[in-house]
Amino acid sequence: MSWRTEWKAISDRIDSILEAGSFYAQFGNSSDGGSAAHKGLIPTAKEIRTSTEDFNNKYTQLLPVSATSYLDKFISDAPEFFENSNVKSPYLMARVTLTLLSVFRADFTYKITDISELARRLSEHAFSHLQRSIVADPTIKSKWQDAFKNGETTCGKLGAAHLLQHGIWAFKVKEAGETPSKIVNQLKKDKK
């Protein structure tokens, strides 16, 4: 299962518990003395919090940095809100936990759409795949060796085709006197 699929499942569960909490707030809080909140809403909210911890443990390396930071903060702050013994009213506790889950879901969903971070990770994956393919597959290695002998334009075409397999549209931008090798060498110098 991908992290996006698992996040969708967690997000859907948050949506469902928020709907139940809304129903409870509208119809059930005065007549049940908080038992629906105490027996249903609060335990489910805590299970969702645990699901976010599991999600973080499994997928932290694949998520955008801003999303990982936000998820880490939510998990570290969660006990303060989800286990708050100072809140005696189950109704109030349900309101606090459900509100926090709602805010968390909205913010986290926004942060996982960090396009530049996703693009960076996608390109890292594509180039890692290319490197491993060259080492593991003699046919691919031969194609790249031939392309290298034929010049940068041939390498660029082959590289663009590989990147496209990973959903990355590659194109070449060249100013007068600039070549990809000059740009790469400049980038290497800038890193130092």
**Nearest C-alpha neighbor of 17 from the set 50, 54, 53, 45:** 45
C-alpha–C-alpha distance, residues 7 and 19, integer Å: 18
State pLDDT tens for residues 37-52.
778 888 899 899 999 9
State pLDDT tens for residues 68-124.
999 999 999 887 777 766 767 777 788 888 899 999 999 999 988 866 667 778 888
What is the b/e burial string over 67-103, where b = at least 16 CB atoms within 10 angstroms of the residue's CB?
bbebbeebbeebeebbeeeeeeebbebbbbbbebbee
- Grade residue 166 by pLDDT with cuts at 50, 70 and 90: confident
Higher per-residue confidence, 87 vs 11:
11
C-alpha–C-alpha distance, residues 14 and 108, integer Å: 12
The model carries a pTM of 0.57
Helix (H) or strand (E) holding 139: helix 138-150
Residue ranges of domains in the chain: 3-113, 116-191
